[in-house]
Amino acid sequence: METMLPPLLMAVDDDPGIRYTLRGIARHVGWTMVTFPDGRTALHWLARRTPDAAIVDYHLPGENGLVLTRILREQYPDLPIVILTVDERQELADAFMAAGASDFALKPIRAPDLLARLRVHLRTRPGNAGQTRRAAPGLSLGPDSAGGRSLPKGIQGPTLERVQAILAGAPEGVTAPQVASQGGFGPATAYRYLRYLEETGQVEVSLDYQRVGRPKKVYRLVPGPGKGPTPPMPKV
């Protein structure tokens, strides 16, 4: 079963400021951007979801953006992969193109340029997959269903999928205000969807005790069945 959904993008960059900027750019145009600090975490998420496009930093500490690009291209032949870089050397561009990169965007990020590049790749991707995609097992399939179940009143499939994507991109856990901020909706909406996921056993909840004030609820997505540890990335 398929449903029309906003594009779902993933980005891998070790700089938290860059990740914050990318989420803000995507949120501004109504897209969902799931960000990761390293390739290993991104690959773990990819075992559950397939994005419509990927953004990869050319240099990742302890890893290699070139290796991650090659892995993504091998596993997802049609996936647009945009490389973020401050290095304009032709030999670097040639290496990434050989590994499977689709395009490049220079840092510091210019939102109009990045959005224009992503729109072109989403529009020209085979089947125009930036608009229609199939949900992974256990995730919502449409406005009126979730993994084959009817959704209760007040829970919509596209919003539920957006919340699930945010949770999947934060294996360390997120609070309801963080979900609201990243998803672009109100705190009450975030609490409602997190409560639904908790009641259906899709998230686990823990308390983060602060030095002062009330403890905060931290939500983590429950791993799907059969999801073992992500294999290490190969060395170059």
Q: What pLDDT does 155 receive?
A: 83
Burial of 123 (0-12, 13-18, 19+ CB in 10 A): exposed
- The average confidence (pLDDT) of the chain is 80
3-132 and 140-221 have identical folds:
no
Q: What pLDDT does 124 receive?
A: 80
Q: pLDDT by residue (tens digit) across 192-202? A: 889 888 888 88
Q: Confidence band (pLDDT; 50, 70, 90) for 224?
A: low
Q: Which residues of 201-210 are buried (b: 16+ CB within 10 A; e: fewer)?
A: ebbeeeeeee
Q: What is the CATH number of domain 140-221?
A: 1.10.10.10
Q: Which residues contact 66 (CB under 8 A, 6 or more apart)?
A: 58, 95, 96, 99, 236
Parse the chain into domains and list their residue ranges: 3-132, 140-221
Map residue 84 onto helix, strand or coil: strand
Q: pLDDT by residue (tens digit) across 38-74? A: 898 888 888 888 899 999 999 887 667 999 999 999 9
Q: What pLDDT does 125 receive?
A: 72
Q: pLDDT by residue (tens digit) across 81-113? A: 999 988 888 888 888 999 999 999 989 999 999
Closest listed residue to residue 176, CA positions, set 155, 196, 193: 193
φ and ψ at residue 235, rounded to 5 degrees: -85, 155
> Which homologous superfamily is 3-132 in?
Response regulator (3.40.50.2300)
Map residue 80 onto helix, strand or coil: coil
Whether the link from the prior residue into 16 is cis, omega within 30° of 0, is: no
231 vs 35, residue with greater confidence: 35
